[in-house]
Amino acid sequence: MAAMDATDRKILTLLQENAAQPVAEIARKVGLSVTPCWRRIQRLEETGVIRKRVALLDPQKIGVGMSVFVAVRTDQHNADWLQNFATMISDMPEVVEFYRMSGEVDYLLRVVVADMAAYDAFYRTLIGKVQLTDVSSSFAMEEIKFTTALPVDGAMAD
């Protein structure tokens, strides 16, 4: 994608704050008319800069208020094992983030569940489906900062 200009970055910032706001409102805030603003948003979607627009839910209000960071180590480092593991993890709705890591931990998961019993059930399913060397869980005691907004100021500047 060509470098984004300041207007593109403003549009992205506004969409990250509220993706449901009308294009006319975004256009007004960035100093464009509706049609050119809409074209920019469409281009940002077509080029994959905007991956999707979603609603962010309150985990407490829907009963999955416990966040657990699960560090996984394995002695299996081959493509077949990784494919099987990735498929298994992708099919587990409790896993909301999944990363392959460098360093001591091979994979890091963020899991959201209702409570300790729900996490225990998740854990038993996890260890029952794939060969792992070590699984270490850390329970978030307090969410101090959470955002899905990426820093766009200075990103791919013109």
Domain assignments of the chain as residue spans, ordered by start: 6-46, 66-139
The predicted-structure confidence for 120-133, as pLDDT tens digits, reads as follows 999 999 999 998 99
The domain made up of 66-139 has a fold known as Alpha-Beta Plaits (3.30.70)
* Radius of gyration, CA atoms only, the chain: 20
Contact yes or no for 11/44 (Cβ under 8 A):
yes
Does residue 3 carry a pLDDT above 90? no
The predicted-structure confidence for 37-77, as pLDDT tens digits, reads as follows 999 999 999 999 999 999 999 999 999 999 999 999 999 99
Q: What is the pLDDT of residue 67?
A: 98
Cα 93 from Cα 74, distance rounded (Å): 22
Quick one: tokens of 13? 């910032």
Does residue 156 carry a pLDDT above 90? no
Q: What is the pLDDT of residue 157?
A: 52
Quick one: tokens of 11? 């549009």
The pTM score is 0.87
Quick one: tokens of 73? 């180590």
The predicted-structure confidence for 97-149, as pLDDT tens digits, reads as follows 999 999 999 999 999 999 999 999 999 999 999 989 999 999 999 999 999 99
Does residue 84 carry a pLDDT above 80? yes
**CB neighbours (10 Å) of residue 22?**
10
The domain made up of 6-46 has a fold known as Arc Repressor Mutant, subunit A (1.10.10)
